[in-house]
Amino acid sequence: MKNPAQLAFNAVLLVAVAVLYFLHFSQRPAAAPVAAALTETVVADSAVAATPAPVEETATPAAVAPVAATPAPTAGAGAIVYVESGKMLDGYQGMKDARRAFEARAKGWERQNQTLVNGFRTAVEQYQKTAASLTPEQRAAAEQKLQAQQQQGAVEQQKIQAQAQEAEAKLTQTVLESVNKKVEAYGKSHGYKMILIAAPSGTIAYGEKGLDITAPVLAYLNAEYRKK
C-alpha cells in the first residue's frame, strides 16, 4: 500500500508529465522531410565572365582590371536539383497554419491533463487532512481509492497522448502529400529530371548552390496555397 507521501509525490509526477507532454506536442520542430523524384526539364542559363580592360602600349606594363568571378552554374535542362526540406517546410504557409491549428488542439488536451492532475492532487490533500482521524481500516480504504484514481488518471493520460500523436501524424501526412504534389508539378513545369531532398540528417552531402531551388519552390508553394 502506498503511503500519503508517496501518493503526493506521484501527484507531482503527474504534473511534470502534463507539462512535458504539452511542450512536446505544441512546440515540436518541423515535420519530417518530404521526398519527390521527378522526370524531364527546361530552363537554360549560361555563366558570363567579364573581359579584362584594354592595356595601353607603354614602356611599363599596365595594370590589368580584375576579372569578375564566374557565377555559380544554374539548373538547366535535364538538371538534377534539390531543395532543403527544413527551410521549405518551415517557410510554407500551409505548414505554419497546420501547426497553429494543432497547437490550439494541444491546449485542449493539456486542459484535460490538468483536470486529471488537479483532481488527484485535491483528493490526496483531502486525505492528508483527515488521515489522522481515520481508523487503520478507513485509511487503508482511502489509500486504495487514491491508488485506483492514480492508475485511472495514468490510463486517461495515455489515451490523450495517443489521440495527440494520431492527430499530429494525420496533420503531417496531409501537409506532406500536398507539398509532394506541388513539388512534382513544379518540377515537371520546369523540366527538371529529378528533385532531391536535402535533409538535416545528411541525405545530400554536397550540392552546388546553383542546383538549390528551395527559394523558388517555396515561393511557388505559398502562391499555390494562397489560391485556396
pTM, whole model, 2 decimals?
0.60
Q: What is the pLDDT of residues 110-136, one digit of tens each?
A: 999 999 999 999 999 999 999 999 999
Q: Which domain holds residue 100?
A: 4-226
Query: Quick check: helix, strand or coil at residue 69?
Result: coil
* CA separation for the pair 40, 189 (Å, rounded): 9
Burial level of 105, CB count in 10 A (0-12/13-18/19+)?
middle
Which pLDDT score is estimated for 201?
75
Which pLDDT score is estimated for 205?
79
- List the one residue out of 95, 128, 92 whose CA is nearest residue 220: 92
C-alpha 26, offset from chain centre: 10
Q: What is the pLDDT of residues 85-115, one digit of tens each?
A: 999 999 999 999 999 999 999 999 999 999 9
Dihedral of alpha carbons 218, 222, 223, 227, sign: positive
Q: What is the pLDDT of residues 162-177, one digit of tens each?
A: 999 999 999 999 999 9
Q: What is the pLDDT of residues 18-74, one digit of tens each?
A: 433 443 444 444 433 333 333 333 333 333 333 334 444 444 444 444 434 434 445
More confident of the two residues 14 and 184: 184
Number of domains in the chain: 1
Which pLDDT score is estimated for 76?
57
More confident of the two residues 218 and 9: 218
Burial level of 31, CB count in 10 A (0-12/13-18/19+)?
buried
Helix (H) or strand (E) holding 126, with range, is helix 93-130
Which pLDDT score is estimated for 82?
92
* CA separation for the pair 69, 115 (Å, rounded): 65
Query: Quick check: helix, strand or coil at residue 220?
Result: helix
* CA separation for the pair 114, 125 (Å, rounded): 16
* CA separation for the pair 119, 116 (Å, rounded): 5
Query: Within the chain, what is the greatest distance between any pair of CA atoms?
Result: 116
Number of Cβ within 10 Å of residue 110's Cβ equals: 19
* Residue 11 pLDDT class (50, 70, 90 cuts): very low
Which pLDDT score is estimated for 194?
93
User: Phi then psi for 39, rounded to 5 degrees?
Assistant: -120, 150
Euclidean distance between the first and the last CA atom of the chain, given in angstroms as a whole number: 60
For the chain, what is the mean pLDDT?
74
Cα-based distances in Å from 173 to 160, 167, 176: 20, 10, 5
